[in-house]
Amino acid sequence: MATPLTTYITTYLSGSVTSDFMTSAGNLLCSFSSSQISSVSTTVFASSISSLSKISLACPNIANWYALAKTVPAYGSSLYSSSSSISELGSVMSGITTTDLASVSADQISSFSTLSFQYMPAATVNSMSTTQLAGLAHDQVTSLLNSPYYSSFSSAITSYLATASGGTATTSGASQISLNYLAKLSIGFYFILLSIFYSC
């Protein structure tokens, strides 16, 4: 069954995802299917990175966006080794594979945006080495403390975060929000945007 998003792309964009749509969509990009992401051209992706880099919720398809970033000539297959690419991709870096993350140096880890750490899946965070953890900036530590995945972090990670924050930091209300609530919020946002698109 076609979703409203698919219907909009088919009806109003002639089946092609445009950079204008991606720039306007924002968090709605988290509802793209893997096939819709794979249909996005590398040119459109590169021209829309300012929107993608600011995704500000737990994004179930972020690994797909990261995989697409690796095919874009501007970033390349080794984007995780470039501080400027890491910084520019922002939230997209939360989709990094554990294999790629293992190749990120302590110096480069500080190039990750706070949003990318806040929404990085627990399995990825739990794979970080002690050297990488030591390279985290204070605001990155705070983002991890406020992650909606915090309860799934390993004891080694939570212990490090407590120490790095001076032992006094507690997770904020943001980390207590269930992913079910975030999913519902995303869906609500999705339908609001679609109603705006249809009314234009």
Q: How far is CA 167 from CA 8, 47, 160, 161, in A?
A: 49, 42, 9, 8
pLDDT of amino acid 185: 45
Q: Are 71 and 43 in contact (CB under 8 A)?
A: no
Q: Compute the mean pLDDT over every residue in the chain, rounded to the nearest whole number.
A: 82
* pLDDT for res 29: 84
pLDDT of residue 180: 45
Answer yes or no: is pLDDT of 162 > 80. yes
Contact 61, 34 (CB under 8 A): yes
Task: With beta carbons less than 8 A apart as the criterion, state whether 73 and 98 touch.
Answer: no
C-alpha dist (Å) from residue 9 to 4, 5, 16, 200: 9, 6, 7, 14
The pLDDT-based confidence of 97 (bands split at 50, 70, 90) is very high
39: three-class secondary structure by DSSP: coil
pLDDT exceeds 90 at position 150: yes
* DSSP letters spanning 116-142: HHHTS-HHHHTT--HHHHHT--HHHHH
pLDDT in tens, 119-146: 999 999 999 999 999 999 999 999 999 9
Output the pLDDT for position 3.
64
Average pLDDT score over residue span 3-9: 66
End-to-end CA distance of the chain: 24
pLDDT at 175: 42
pLDDT digits (tens, 9 = 90+) for 43-65: 999 998 988 999 998 899 999 99
Whether 69 has a pLDDT exceeding 80, the answer reads yes
* pLDDT at position 176: 41
All structural domains of the chain with their residue ranges = 4-199
Judged against a pLDDT cut of 70, whether residue 24 lies above it is answered with no
pTM here is: 0.75
The percent of residues in the chain predicted with pLDDT above 70, rounded, is 72
Is the separation of the CB atoms in 184 and 157 below 8 Å? no
Residue bearing the bigger pLDDT, 58 or 6:
58
The residue whose two tokens read 């004891």 is 155
**Which two tokens mark 198?**
């249809």
CA distance 112 to 92: 10
Can you tell me the distance from the alpha carbon of 172 to that of 143, in angstroms, rounded to the nearest whole number?
Answer: 10
